[in-house]
Amino acid sequence: MINHKKINSFELIAIHFKKELKSILTDKGAMLILIGAMIIYPIIYSIGYYHETLTNLPIGIVDLDHTVASRKYSNMVDASSEVNVTYKPFDLKEAQSLFFDNKISGVILIPKGFQKEVFAGNQANIAIYADGSYFLKYKNEYMAAAYSNAYFSGGIAIKRYMAEGKSFAQAVVNANPLSIQTHILYNPSSAYGSFIMPGIILIIIQQTLLIGIGLLGGSFSESKKSPFLYPIEKRKKEVIPYLIGKAGVYLVISLFNVAMAVIMVHDWFSYPDKSSFLNIMMLLFPYLLSVIILGIGISTLFKHRESAIVFLVFLSPIALFLSGVSWPTSAMPEWIIYLSKLMPSTTAVPAYLRLRSMGVGIHNVKSEILGLYAQTGIYAILTIIYFFIRLANDKNSHRKQFHKSILTNN
């Protein structure tokens, strides 16, 4: 206990700051999660997505026509950057064996009579057998076939128009009357790493903070000690300094993690960066505060160290889903959208992507910033109310034990 008459609130905040920092530094598990994980996870994930785009996917082409036209089509598919024709099986049965042996990822079938149908001006069919359970592979195989079909059909149409007496320029216009120009915004290379990693980094920050705070909270509950320094009848005055001091430690650690993951990893792996550091921090500061206060509030519920890890690790994929990174929120049921607002990442991740990848101004994410500050305030109020209720119960319990001891002595 300390003499609460000789210490002010700022000194009390500093004492709790030092106590919490000491608890973190002496707990290897907390150090690994709060600092080690934030260094390891973003780098490992980013290395995994380093090439960003899937190219030269091995496929097989089954050519049942064996004509000049079918061979030309096969060469066009092989020339695409999406796939690489590594095998030309004799039939579908052989192609199936290669697929099950994981030597190819898909099959394109050119049917018999392909050239005859093309020269007759009829529609020729191409069959694509792609692995629908792996979206990126399926997309590559489909796009390679679609591009080849477009160019092959365009060439046939141009030759037909030229045979009718039209010039090459007229034939090109007739074959393609509408010229479509596609401009891919914000992620021109369609790179998967640049699409997924910026949002995942914010979720990693959130989940490592929640797990680390919960881990220490569970450990403290196991020790049966009180986090407060004042006598039991004066502890209500200590709740807010305790909360500020505890949150301050995690905020300092989080700023280090932000420098590592949000700044350095972004630069190392050349992720989209169209915003200033000041604007980014104006968004991340309330995000970190809301996550930390939420973590402190949740940590009071864990009675054992392991409970925090199990619950919060279980919560991680849910947080990823609700953030809208893996699935658009517009396609979610309305009640899930409202429920998802309980997680700070649901508000912060879309705003962060708009700010950093799309290059919008800070005024365009003003509502999200204010929402995060509101979340912080709500979590803080709920946590303070919980501590007041808990202190009132402890006080009543202490009185009962005191009266019981008096009666026993008498």
30-48: per-residue pLDDT in tens?
888 888 888 888 888 888 8
Question: Tell me, what's the pLDDT at 407?
Answer: 44
Give the lowest-confidence range in 112-126, 152-166, 171-185, 276-290.
Answer: 171-185
**Residue entry with tokens 């708009």:** 354
Task: Place 5 in a pLDDT band, splitting at 50, 70 and 90.
Answer: low
Closest to 236 in 3D by CA, of 385, 72, 60:
385
Question: Tell me, what's the pLDDT at 380?
Answer: 93
Domain ranges for the chain, please list them. Answer: 4-49+192-409, 57-175
Question: Tell me, what's the pLDDT at 231?
Answer: 63
Mean pLDDT confidence for 248-267: 87
For the chain, what is the radius of gyration of the CA atoms?
Answer: 31
Give the Cα separation of 322 and 319 in Å (integer): 5
Question: Tell me, what's the pLDDT at 375?
Answer: 94
Close Cβ partners of 228 (under 8 Å, ≥ 6 residues apart)? 235, 238, 239, 242
- Which residue blocks in 80-191 are alpha helix, DSSP H? 92-100, 114-119, 135-163, 168-175
Question: Tell me, what's the pLDDT at 232?
Answer: 66
Give 273: exposed, middle or buried? Use CB within 10 Å, 0-12, 13-18, 19+: middle
Query: Tens digits of per-residue pLDDT, 318-360?
Result: 888 888 777 777 788 888 888 888 889 999 999 999 998 888 8
One-letter identity of residue 382: L
The 8-class DSSP code of residue 124 comes to P
Mean pLDDT confidence for 171-183: 69
The per-residue DSSP string of 62-107 comes to EESS-SHHHHHHHHHHHHSSSEEEEE--SSHHHHHHHHHTTS-SEE
Mean pLDDT confidence for 151-172: 75
Question: Tell me, what's the pLDDT at 191?
Answer: 78
The per-residue DSSP string of 329-398 comes to GGGS-HHHHHHHTTSHHHHHHHHHHIIIII---GGGGHHHHHHHHHHHHHHHHHHHHHHHHHHHHHHHHH
| Average pLDDT value over all residues in the chain | 82
Mean pLDDT confidence for 108-134: 85
Tell me which fold the domain 57-175 belongs to: D-Maltodextrin-Binding Protein; domain 2 (3.40.190)
* pLDDT surpassing 60 at residue 396: no
Task: Place 58 in a pLDDT band, splitting at 50, 70 and 90.
Answer: very high
Give the Cα separation of 290 and 216 in Å (integer): 18
Higher pLDDT, 356 or 119: 356
Query: Tens digits of per-residue pLDDT, 362-391?
Result: 999 999 999 999 999 999 999 888 888 877
149: three-class secondary structure by DSSP: helix
Task: Place 403 in a pLDDT band, splitting at 50, 70 and 90.
Answer: very low
Mean pLDDT confidence for 147-159: 79
Q: How are strands ordered across the β-sheet holding 83-87?
A: 83-87, 57-63, 106-110, 127-130
Query: Tens digits of per-residue pLDDT, 281-296?
Result: 999 999 999 999 999 9
- In a 13 Å sphere around the CA of 407, the CA atoms on its Cβ side amount to 6
pTM: 0.80
Angle of CA points 139, 144, 150, to nearest 5°: 120
SS3 content of the chain, % helix, strand, coil (to 5): 70, 5, 25
* pLDDT surpassing 50 at residue 298: yes
Query: Tens digits of per-residue pLDDT, 185-230?
Result: 787 777 777 888 888 889 989 988 998 888 888 877 766 676 666 6
Mean pLDDT confidence for 221-246: 74
Percent of the residues in the chain that have a pLDDT greater than 90, as a whole number:
20
Query: Tens digits of per-residue pLDDT, 59-99?
Result: 999 999 989 988 998 999 998 888 999 999 998 899 999 99
